[in-house]
Structure 1
């Protein structure tokens, strides 16, 4: 199982070679190391999750980035503005270190999830706390 997991990680084109270490314990795959983007951390987990014999995955990969924090906030705001699914005026972004907190209201669960996905996609983001409330209203109210 360890060899299969190592091959899956090596074959994953989104993960930089040598950034992820794999430990196998009683069927659990433990991923460790450092990557620059959340999608790389996620890709490592997806790559090994469905291997034969895997009981579960513990993803302890850290996100380490050289991105400047003010730039992260501006990148997320610009991505919100470009996103047709989101009303960027209803979402407030708060940044503390590499942590992003989303506040405000959105009309649907889909928009809440999309806002979180967009925030995770910014370089340097290590965690996202989604505090967006869903405020549904009937058309015409």
Structure 2
């Protein structure tokens, strides 16, 4: 019984913090979004008028301490004035990728269906994959983005060298405690395990692992303590 009361009280506190963070976030209107929390998992509901707001709301929830995961059920309802055809969105997405210096646009394909953008192709680094998604999710009339880009690195350090590179980077990061994170290298795959205090620390550990040379995949099994 005591444990249940603790979880309920913790969930209520997380819910208040998420609502406060949404009110603090200038890109969203807090009255547009509903927030529920169960055992540290946040569910966002409601509707917004563009995909960038949906993404900003999700990021706001992830910033809160003790959030274990976020289910983003916010619906994107475009106003009639913002509606564009799929070919128009595809052209705008292609141009946005071309203008982004971090994106090797020649290796990517863009498909749009009912306002939903799908990215496919190969890049050498994870940051290029993320940059491509960032370029298109801010476009008007986009209802959602599926990032199907593959990371195919060139060159690979030895497993011991790669593990040490990641450990050193985690030590340098002010947002991670390397003592709470375990690293296993399997070829070009890095597996992360352990337990941390926030989703942001979990995400930072994954970002660090992806930044290592020769990494093609990261399996992040780090848990967030509630």
TM-score of the superposed pair, with normalisation by structure 1: 0.82
Please state how far the C-alpha of 1:23 moved relative to its aligned partner.
1.5
Give the alignment partner of residue 18 of structure 1, picking from 95, 101, 106: 106
Aligned to 2:207: 117
Matched residue, 1:139: none
Q: CA RMSD in A?
A: 2.1
Deviates more, 1:21-30 or 1:1-10: 21-30
Residue 79 of structure 1: SS of its match in structure 2?
A: helix
1:97 maps to what in 2?
Answer: 187
Higher relative contact order (CA 8 A, sep 6+): 1
Conservation of the 8 A alpha-carbon contact between 1:99 and 1:125: yes
Corresponding residue of 1:30: 118
Q: CA deviation at 1:98?
A: 2.7
Deviation at 1:2, TM superposition (A): 1.4
- Work out whether 1:43 is the aligned partner of 2:131: yes
Contact 1:49–1:57 at 8 Å: present in 2 too?
yes
| Structure possessing the higher radius of gyration over alpha carbons | 2
For these two proteins, the number of residue pairs brought into alignment is: 136
1:59 deviates by: 1.0
TM-score relative to the length of structure 2 = 0.54
Larger helix percent: 2
Moved more, 120-129 or 48-57: 120-129
